[in-house]
């Protein structure tokens, strides 16, 4: 299980029954909002700090104008609470920050950990929907309150970028190779590291990010940049020109001449005549040099000077020379211009080479595209037609440019067994009170039909038994469902001191498979890009009635004047 291996940067004592520390050592109990501490003090001062509170962590709206979200960040939350303990110097800092608080409070803070907290969660990588809690966190109110900000920080971006990656996978299709190239444009170092991890979880194949590859066991990919190409001035820079053949049986003493020879043959080929003139010689030198370093995986960036007049012919010359020596070139990368047109022209060129020189399979040489790609541009390329095999996606993926934040919230739903509600002028912001159980109900075709929340002590929905599923706020919206399969959504990932059995965290590869499986299972109209159908989220009749009783009870009566 790659993801559960101790983080390479973590160190020191490991708490919490062997659960490693958070991947980023900056994730400490101080990574929270000051008001969590002022509230903790007010609770403590009022003698309420041990009150038993239940909080729901959920979001209100799917991102990217879509109708699904993929849940990410659970493992980091569990690592966080498993190792939750204030250090002495952290307490000192808090003392200075809250100078009017009594000493007893800091003694209390020094003493706490998360052994009295319980965390229930939907498995990481699952498809999830608005209002249904991704996590239920319960325990002493002062402690659970301190978890609010770190949990939201760990879940919001993780879920957002996993969802973004999954959307890119859906639009690209299962056959394409998807590479995450976003580190340099990410929102800070672990924006980059998290993006690589969660993009992989959401269905990408690899990342360019070496640190993420090492931390999470994600495949890493990469070749060279424009700077490499322009760092060469000409072929005379290449001193060591020898290359042994792939099988070691022969050796070409002057690979440079072999490349030049191939370039002339391409230039002279009748089917290619006139498509290009003199190619850029510093580019040819860079490609040749790169091929000498990586004869097994020669992949060239072809747009430093001109794709069709220089980059592609230069690539082919080197690739054919490599072919003579028993090596198969990896392909090209396009990083500017009209990717549909250039990929199609390049593919034609490759097929012309295959035909002209009888190099079987050359026409299928891999074409990677990587210039400011996103869901929309891939969709447009698909509609227009293209010959791209692999997409390298950076900025728009990792910064979630189309919607840079997910709005998960952390709301009190019960205290000392008393259900609590948070009202709002905006009905969508009213919280659903009570500690709840949540189920996904599947229909005859195998599709999930609806998620339903019930009170904690209600009987669970049964296969084959009709159940009324109600919209939590709109009385007229309700439907009978006879489930063919019932899945309880939340499992106990941190039982605290309770005797509930603890669910093991799953590896990044298992989470990735879960994501793919959940999306495969969804009815396609929930997933489509344009006007997707909302997936239904409901409550039981008993919970519905209770919400509305509490709402009336708490809302002040208006006075029209």
Residues 7-36 that bind a copy of itself (CB under 8 A): 8-9, 11, 22-28, 30-36
Q: Which two tokens stand for residue 14?
A: 């490991």
Residues numbered 364 to 423 that lie near a copy of itself (CB under 8 A) are: 395, 399-401, 403-408, 410-412, 415, 418, 420-423
CB 161 within 8 A of CB 194: yes
Residue (1 or 233) nearer to a copy of itself, CB: 233
Size of the site for a copy of itself (CB under 8 A): 137
Q: Which two tokens stand for residue 88?
A: 């002495």
Among 200, 262, 276, 494, binds a copy of itself (CB under 8 A): 276
CB 547 within 8 A of CB 432: yes
Q: Which two tokens stand for residue 235?
A: 């072929």
449 binds a copy of itself per the rule CB under 8 A: no
328 binds a copy of itself per the rule CB under 8 A: no
Q: How many CB atoms lie within 10 A of CB 18?
A: 9
Q: Which two tokens stand for residue 347?
A: 């593919």
CB of 430 to a copy of itself, least distance (A): 11
| Site stretch for a copy of itself (CB under 8 A), options 142-150, 470-478, 513-521, 538-546 | 142-150
Residues numbered 481 to 540 that lie near a copy of itself (CB under 8 A) are: none
φ, ψ of residue 388 in degrees (nearest 5)? -85, 135
252 binds a copy of itself per the rule CB under 8 A: no
Nearest residue to 167 via CA among 417, 504, 397: 397
Distance CA 434, CA 180 (A): 41
| Site stretch for a copy of itself (CB under 8 A), options 151-159, 319-327, 436-444, 501-509 | 151-159
Distance CA 321, CA 284 (A): 12
Nearest residue to 408 via CA among 139, 130, 146: 130
552 binds a copy of itself per the rule CB under 8 A: no
233 binds a copy of itself per the rule CB under 8 A: yes
216 binds a copy of itself per the rule CB under 8 A: no
Edge-to-edge strands, sheet with 485-488: 478-481, 467-470, 536-539, 448-455, 436-442, 485-488
| Site stretch for a copy of itself (CB under 8 A), options 131-139, 148-156, 360-368, 531-539 | 148-156
Return the ∠ at Cα 498 (arms to 495 and 499), rounded to 5°: 95
CB of 131 to a copy of itself, least distance (A): 17
Residues numbered 335 to 354 that lie near a copy of itself (CB under 8 A) are: 336-337
Residue (120 or 181) nearer to a copy of itself, CB: 181
The residue to which tokens 């190619």 are assigned: 279
Residue (243 or 519) nearer to a copy of itself, CB: 243
Residues numbered 62 to 81 that lie near a copy of itself (CB under 8 A) are: none
Among 110, 115, 149, 261, binds a copy of itself (CB under 8 A): 149
Among 278, 465, 520, 525, binds a copy of itself (CB under 8 A): 278
Nearest residue to 168 via CA among 155, 177, 159: 177
């Amino acid at each position: 299980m790659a993801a559960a291996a101790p983080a390479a940067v973590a160190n020191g004592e490991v708490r919490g029954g062997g659960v490693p520390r958070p991947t980023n050592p900056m994730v400490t109990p101080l990574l929270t909002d000051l008001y969590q501490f002022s509230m903790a003090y007010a609770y403590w001062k009022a003698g309420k700090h041990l009150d038993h509170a239940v909080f729901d962590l959920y979001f209100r709206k799917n991102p990217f104008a879509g109708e699904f979200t993929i849940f990410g960040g659970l493992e980091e939350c569990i690592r966080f609470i498993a190792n939750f303990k204030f250090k002495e110097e952290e307490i000192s800092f808090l003392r200075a920050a809250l100078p009017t608080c009594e000493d007893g409070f800091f003694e209390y803070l020094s003493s706490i950990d998360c052994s009295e907290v319980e965390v229930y969660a939907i498995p990481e990588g699952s498809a999830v929907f608005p209002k249904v809690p991704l996590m239920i966190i319960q325990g002493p109110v002062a402690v659970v309150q301190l978890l609010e900000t770190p949990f939201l920080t760990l879940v919001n971006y993780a879920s957002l970028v996993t969802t973004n990656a999954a959307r890119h996978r859906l639009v690209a299709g299962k056959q394409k190779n998807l590479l995450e190239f976003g580190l340099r444009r990410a929102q800070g170092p672990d924006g980059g590291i998290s993006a690589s991890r969660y993009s992989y979880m959401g269905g990408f194949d690899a990342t360019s990010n070496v640190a993420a590859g090492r931390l999470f066991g994600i495949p890493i990919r990469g070749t060279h940049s424009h700077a490499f190409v322009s760092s060469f001035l000409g072929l005379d820079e290449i001193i060591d020109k020898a290359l042994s053949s792939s099988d070691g049986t022969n050796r070409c003493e002057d690979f440079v001449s072999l490349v030049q020879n191939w370039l002339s043959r391409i230039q002279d080929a009748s089917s290619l005549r006139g498509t290009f003139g003199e190619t850029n010689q510093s580019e040819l030198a860079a490609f040749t040099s790169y091929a000498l370093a990586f004869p097994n995986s020669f992949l060239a960036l072809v747009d430093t000077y001109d794709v069709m007049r220089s980059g592609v012919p230069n690539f082919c010359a080197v690739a054919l020379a490599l072919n003579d020596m028993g090596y198969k070139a990896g392909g090209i990368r396009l990083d500017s211009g009209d990717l549909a047109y250039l990929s199609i022209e390049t593919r034609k060129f490759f097929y012309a080479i295959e035909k002209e020189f009888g190099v079987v399979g050359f026409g299928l040489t891999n074409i990677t595209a990587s210039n400011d790609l996103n869901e929309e541009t891939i969709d447009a390329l698909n509609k227009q037609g293209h010959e791209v095999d692999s997409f390298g996606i950076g900025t728009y993926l990792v910064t979630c440019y189309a919607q840079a934040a997910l709005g998960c919230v952390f709301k009190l739903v019960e205290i000392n067994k008393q259900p609590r509600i948070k009202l709002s002028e905006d009905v969508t912001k009213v919280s659903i009170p009570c500690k709840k159980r949540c189920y996904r109900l599947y229909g005859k075709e195998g599709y999930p039909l609806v998620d339903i929340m019930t009170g904690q002590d209600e009987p669970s929905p049964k296969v084959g038994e009709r159940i009324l599923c109600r919209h939590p706020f709109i009385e007229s919206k309700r439907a009978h469902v006879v489930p063919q399969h019932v899945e309880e959504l939340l499992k106990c990932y941190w039982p605290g001191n309770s005797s509930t059995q603890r669910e093991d965290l799953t590896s990044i590869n298992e989470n990735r498979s879960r994501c793919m499986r959940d999306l495969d299972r969804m009815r396609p109209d929930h997933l489509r890009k344009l006007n997707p159908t909302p997936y239904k989220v409901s409550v039981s009749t008993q919970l519905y009635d209770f919400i509305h009783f509490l709402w009336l009870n708490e809302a002040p009566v208006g006075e029209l004047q």
